[in-house]
Structure 1
């Protein structure tokens, strides 16, 4: 499994190099560690939400989250644990807020916007993995 983690990490880092250049006003490319930590947190929120409303999809989301955890553990150094945990929690809370707005919102238009945003963020995270 160690080789798989290393390969995934290399592919992730390579994908950031071939990504289109950021506009001139952008400050810097995103930190790959923070990106994976954020996606891991979002996947955790998505999985927990699916436990309540769509249990069949929760297993697939859990598998994606577990793969992201493997990549995260391969990328981080021991002294980065607090930062990584913080990024995961912040992203999990943000995704949970979007999902709650999408389901429990009385404003249907805002609910649709929140649903699209939640799906977009999860889709972007899923796209970081090969399959």
Structure 2
């Protein structure tokens, strides 16, 4: 990654962590920003794929947000940690995809519960991007 792009990504991360929208949402600085953003990237991947099925236009916004998160992840991933970061992303994507799938199938109560849980997990990620 070029020096300017790395600098801008890190600047974006710092602004996101200190931003007023994150504070309004009740978010503190994550204990492990790398794991937090890697997990967010995985959840956003699952959400984007879900939106391809149920709400195509919404997937464009999610795709842009996911790209921003991936830039942050790339800029703060130390050499040698790439496999761990990918594991966090995959684990989060699989779990979130399962929740989103459950939000489309089952009883009305289980669908609503899964949808609420999925929304609750993605909202801290989106708060840093607002």
Report the Cα offset of residue 13 of structure 1.
4.8
Tell me which residue corresponds to 1:57.
58
Give the structure 1 partner of residue 42 of structure 2: 41
Q: Within 5 Å, which residues of 2 pair with 1:111-122?
A: 111-122=111-122
Deviation for aligned residue 1:115:
0.3
1:1-131 mapped onto 2 (5 Å cutoff): 1-14=5-18, 30-105=31-106, 107-129=107-129, 131=130
Provide structure 2 residue ranges, at least 5 long, that are not aligned to the other structure.
Answer: none
| Displacement over 3 Å in runs of 4+ | 12-16
RMSD: 2.2
Does the aligned pair in 2 maintain the 1:9–1:74 contact within 8 Å?
no
TM-score by length of 2: 0.83
How many aligned positions are there?
Answer: 121
Greater relative contact order, per chain length (Cα 8 Å cut-off, separation 6+): 2
Is there any run of 5+ residues in structure 1 with no aligned partner, and where?
Answer: 21-28
Which deviates more, 60-69 or 5-14? 5-14
